[in-house]
Amino acid sequence: MSVGVIGVGSMGGAIVERLLALGYRVSVWDVVSDRIAESVARGASPTGSAAELVSSHEFIIASLPSPQAVENTFTDPRLVESLRPGSITIDMSTVGPNTSRKVYRVFSRKGAHYLDAPVSGGPRRAAAGKLTISVGGDYDAFLKGEPLLKALGEKVFYVGGPGSGSTMKLINQLLVFAHSYAAMEALVLCKALNVDPAKMYEVVTAGSGNSFMFQEMVKLALGGQLWGGRTELLIKDIRLTSRMAVESGLSLSLCRFLSDIAEKMDYAGLGGEDAVKGFLEYVAGASQNKEQESKSTR
């Protein structure tokens, strides 16, 4: 089976790696030529443009870094004119539901299918085919794309119409950001009180305070390893989640708090860091600043 992949950065590249390992023929396109070269070195075929790629494939997977990148790519007139009727584009990018619905409408007018299917799990789980995927769009298109989705995801959920997958992913990202921040605060507090961090990890993972992000990030931090996901993507996601909440007429205190933290991390220049390193550096730095402020006012 031949699959086209648009966007082969850290996540898209891992998806290509997984597909090639399963025996798929994979064609790729990215705005960064070095990324195309990396995928070609793994065994993929290069494509000259996104429009060329969609014109020659029934199944397309996309993994793009931002809502603007998704809109620029999928509403480009050259790509839209090149869409094959009946083709299925599975967009694994994390964007707001309004962006997903906009692209869905553009594709529908050409008789092409668009599924918003953002993923959770990071590049390492993508390469292992162990992603969690929430899918929005037409159910018939989901059924046709389900075998491909299950090649990449350990858990695949159809959650509703256009935009539903993106909505579900942003709700997930609210918790990812919250648990990541809490995990690093717990680690910093543990070290400040001279408690063995490894013992803290052992106790918490056996108790009710455990979460996937605590387990993942603290384990990596203790081993001096990185997660593989950039902090800037989580910052982007919490901004989108906060915007989605506001557009829904809600005022959520946790969303506002985490959005403020995200802006401070971005301002501190931690956006390009690996998420483990970025969160740990921010929490450690912020706690030291607060301690110094407290001493100066005594």
Q: Are strands 2-6 and 59-62 parallel, antiparallel or unpaired?
A: parallel
The helix/strand/coil state of 113 is strand
169 catalytic residue (yes or no): yes
Q: What sign does the CA torsion over 110, 112, 113, 117 have?
A: negative
Residue of 102, 150, 169, 277 with catalytic role: 169
In terms of Cα–Cα distance, which of 195, 188, 271 is closest to 229?
271
Contact 97, 244 (CB under 8 A): yes
Query: What six digits make up the tokens of 96?
Result: 């707001």
User: Per-residue DSSP letters for 74-104?
Assistant: HS-HHHHHHPPTT-EEEE-----HHHHHHHH
CA dist 68 to 1, 19, 59, 216, 236, Å?
30, 26, 22, 30, 12
Kindly tell me the burial class for residue 47, based on how many C-beta atoms sit within 10 Å of its own C-beta (0-12, 13-18, 19 or more). Answer: buried
How far is Cα 223 from Cα 10, in angstroms, rounded to an integer? Answer: 21
Contact 279, 181 (CB under 8 A): yes
Catalytically active residues are: 169
